[in-house]
Amino acid sequence: MAAAADLTPLHDDLRQAMERTTGLSVRFTFGGSGILARQIENGAPYDVYLSANEAFVKELENRGKLVAGSAAVYGYGRLGLWSKSGRIKSLNDLVTQRITHLALPNPVHAPYGAAAREMLRSLGLWRALESRTVYGENVEQALQFAESGNADACITAWSLVWSKGAVLLADSFHPPIRQVGAVVAASAKREAAARVLGFLTSAAGRGLLVRYGFSVP
């Protein structure tokens, strides 16, 4: 299963719940949604694609790489602001405290990075921060930059930082981060893949997502 990196904190709970519910063995590969999409495009042997970006799913479906009609919105991602020092309490602090580096997921590959950049633009902060921004390959690497001290703060997936004392950012300044899953067309286990994907849209699956900071349809 190719899964967006913002689902990494759910790995153990999600795998166990899926296996308990479906009776199937489940294995995850986490990464940036765009990178995983390219892997599927090139024939990587995944059965399910869980993207943090609806556009990547639509593109793959249009190219016949995903089973038509199998796509489903399973949740909505949210952005969190985190700093190791704990001194960054708001987006304005990024400017007023003149931080040296801000870490974001790469907007090219990671929907959270694109949403964070759009939010900073909408608030008039991007011009001051663009030259000080460093990019992680995905939401996890952006957080790692801040954890290691290579960045003063990061904006990343709320699911990764909600338990670290992070600040939940308003979602009114960027397009919704629609998390969409679909069955990979090349899979030899389409029926099993559909059952596993169906768990995410069930009451149990949505309850698990909410517990880790996602909004659900």
pLDDT given for residue 89 in this prediction:
94
Alpha-carbon torsion (114, 116, 121, 127), positive or negative: negative
Domain parsing of the chain, residue ranges: 2-76+176-211, 79-168
pLDDT given for residue 207 in this prediction:
96
CATH number for the domain formed by residue range(s) 79-168: 3.40.190.10
Going along the chain, which residue ranges are E strands? 2-4, 29-31, 48-51, 72-77, 79-82, 102-105, 133-136, 153-157, 167-168, 177-183
Element (H, E) at 69: none
Rounded to an integer, what distance in angstroms lies between the CA atom of residue 31 and that of residue 46? 13
Q: Mean pLDDT, to the nearest integer, of 1-30?
A: 95
pTM exceeds 0.75, yes or no: yes
pLDDT given for residue 109 in this prediction:
84
> Does the pLDDT value for residue 171 go beyond 90?
no
> Does the pLDDT value for residue 166 go beyond 90?
yes
> Does the pLDDT value for residue 82 go beyond 90?
yes
Q: What's the CATH architecture for 2-76+176-211? A: 3-Layer(aba) Sandwich (3.40)
109-151 per-position pLDDT tens digit: 889 999 999 999 999 999 999 999 999 999 999 999 999 999 9
Q: Mean pLDDT, to the nearest integer, of 16-31?
A: 95
Q: DSSP letter at 43?
A: T
Q: Tell me how far CA of residue 48 lies from CA of 149, 179, 194, in angstroms.
A: 35, 13, 8
Are 2-76+176-211 and 79-168 equal in CATH topology? yes
